[in-house]
């Protein structure tokens, strides 16, 4: 049977189309010759650098590829956006639903990949199940996260330094700079004068060295005499038997306190006088009666003293006790 040119052309064309379809799916991470491959899913907030055909590893071995990424609105995070990543596992590996998928950097060029942290406990995973996703911080991301606050602080510091320099330029205008220069010159002159004064003091001390030594010696003698005088006073105070005097004073104070306590309790004549109201009333009445008697004697002395041998006693103004009632 002779194969015509048209048939050859058709076979080549169909083969080219099939190869194109296979190559396109292969680039997307799909292998049409592997049959039914399980597809699992996970979710991340951000998958920057991850795309379809990114590799999926298990214990460092390539087991699949990323098939699809879909942006969704999360109902669990108050409407925030999340990315659902679908990936295939081409090798026959039994995973449980407790497995974890980590999003990590693959190499120094910034490529991203997924790593399956397998778990074999619990219910076995089926195609279409979700695995919990985690993001593993790489070296560059960690350094960037730590440098960002430092960069912000440096920027704020530069702005503050710039403001300070501007304010300093505003303050240090030409008159102020001239005043500062004059102040520095005056300070220099003051230091020179102080140096001269220090030299004069040194010369004065050197010239009066003997007098100062004699003065210090006299001061030492006076200090010694004061110390001896203090010792003598201490000895005399010890010999004065201050302890016995203090005891006697304490005894006297206790007696006074006892007397005062007795007065407060109404003991003795003075205590009764202070505390007994009846006695106070009697003394008051007696004082009034004595006052009336003295007044009567002053106004009518003849009633009480009669010097006449034959006369009668003057009873003018006298009121008998019966009449006074």
Tens-digit pLDDT string for the chain (325 aa): 566 777 778 778 888 887 777 676 666 555 555 557 888 999 888 888 788 888 899 988 888 888 888 888 877 767 688 889 999 888 888 888 899 999 888 766 657 889 999 888 888 888 889 999 888 765 455 555 566 677 788 888 898 888 888 877 777 778 887 888 888 888 988 999 888 898 888 888 888 888 888 888 889 888 888 888 888 777 776 666 667 778 888 888 988 888 887 777 777 777 766 666 777 788 788 888 888 888 888 887 777 765 554 455 555 554 554 444 4
- Which residues are paired to 81 by β-bridges? 73
User: For the segment 17-64, what is each residue's pLDDT rounded down to a tens digit?
Assistant: 877 776 766 665 555 555 578 889 998 888 887 888 888 999 888 888
Determine the pLDDT at residue 323: 46
DSSP conformation letters of 242-309: HHHHHHHHHHHHHHHHHHHHHHHHT-HHHHHHHH-HHHHHHHHHHHHHHHHHHHHHHH-GGGT----S
Q: What is the pLDDT of residue 24?
A: 66
Per-residue pLDDT, 324: 45
- Closest by CA position to 125, among listed 98, 106, 145: 98
How far is the first Cα of the chain from the last one, in angstroms, to the nearest whole number?
183
Tokens describing residue 253: 């104070």
CB 313 within 8 A of CB 302: yes
Average pLDDT taken over every residue of the chain: 78
Quick one: DSSP state of residue 96?
B
What's residue 170's pLDDT? 76
Beta strands 39-44 and 130-135: pairing type?
A: parallel
* Residues composing the chain: 325
CB 152 within 8 A of CB 145: no
Measured at the alpha carbon of residue 251, what is the angle toward residues 248 and 253, in degrees to the nearest 5?
110
Domain boundaries along the sequence of the chain: 1-33, 35-136, 251-298
pLDDT of residue 92: 80
Q: How far is residue 150 from each of residues 93, 143, 160, 219, measured CA to CA in Å?
A: 45, 11, 15, 67
**Residue whose structure tokens are 């080549």:** 12
**Quick check: 33 and 18 in contact, CB under 8 A?**
no
- Residue 80: the pLDDT is 82
Within its chain, how far is the Cα of 126 from the centroid? 56
Maximum Cα–Cα distance across the chain: 210
The C-alpha atoms of residue 312 and residue 307 are separated, in whole angstroms, by 10
Distance CA 314, CA 322 (A): 19
pLDDT of residue 42: 92
CB atoms within 10 A of CB 125: 21
Instruction: Note the pLDDT of residue 100.
Output: 92
């Amino acid at each position: 049977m002779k194969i015509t040119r048209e048939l050859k052309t058709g076979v080549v064309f169909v083969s080219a189309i099939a190869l194109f379809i296979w190559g396109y799916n292969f680039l997307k991470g799909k292998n049409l010759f592997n049959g039914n491959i399980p597809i699992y899913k996970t979710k991340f907030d951000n998958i920057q650098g991850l795309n379809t055909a990114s590799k999926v590893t298990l214990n460092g071995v390539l087991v699949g590829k990323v098939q699809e990424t879909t942006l969704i609105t999360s109902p669990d995070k108050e409407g925030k956006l999340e990315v659902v990543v679908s990936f295939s596992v081409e090798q026959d590996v039994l995973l449980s639903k407790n497995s974890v998928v980590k999003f990590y950097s693959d190499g120094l060029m910034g490529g991203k990949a997924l790593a399956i942290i397998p778990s074999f406990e619990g219910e076995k995973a089926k195609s279409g199940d979700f695995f919990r996703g985690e993001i593993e911080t790489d070296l560059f991301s960690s350094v960037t996260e730590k440098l960002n606050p430092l960069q912000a602080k440096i920027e704020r510091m530069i702005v503050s330094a710039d403001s300070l320099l501007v304010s300093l330029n505003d303050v240090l205008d030409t008159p102020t700079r001239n005043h500062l220069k004059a102040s520095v010159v005056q300070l220099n002159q003051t230091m020179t004068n102080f140096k001269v004064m220090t030299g004069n003091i040194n010369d004065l001390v050197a010239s009066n060295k003997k007098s100062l030594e004699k003065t210090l010696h006299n001061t030492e003698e006076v200090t010694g005499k004061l110390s001896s005088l203090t010792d003598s006073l201490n000895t005399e105070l010890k010999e004065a038997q201050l302890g016995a005097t203090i005891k006697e004073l304490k005894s006297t104070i206790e007696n006074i306190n006892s007397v005062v306590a007795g007065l407060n309790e109404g003991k003795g004549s003075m205590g009764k006088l202070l505390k007994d109201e009846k006695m106070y009333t009697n003394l008051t009445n007696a004082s009034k009666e004595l006052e009336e008697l003295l007044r009567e004697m002053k106004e009518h002395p003849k009633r009480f003293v009669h010097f006449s041998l034959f006369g009668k006693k003057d009873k003018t103004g006298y009121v008998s006790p019966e009449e006074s009632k």
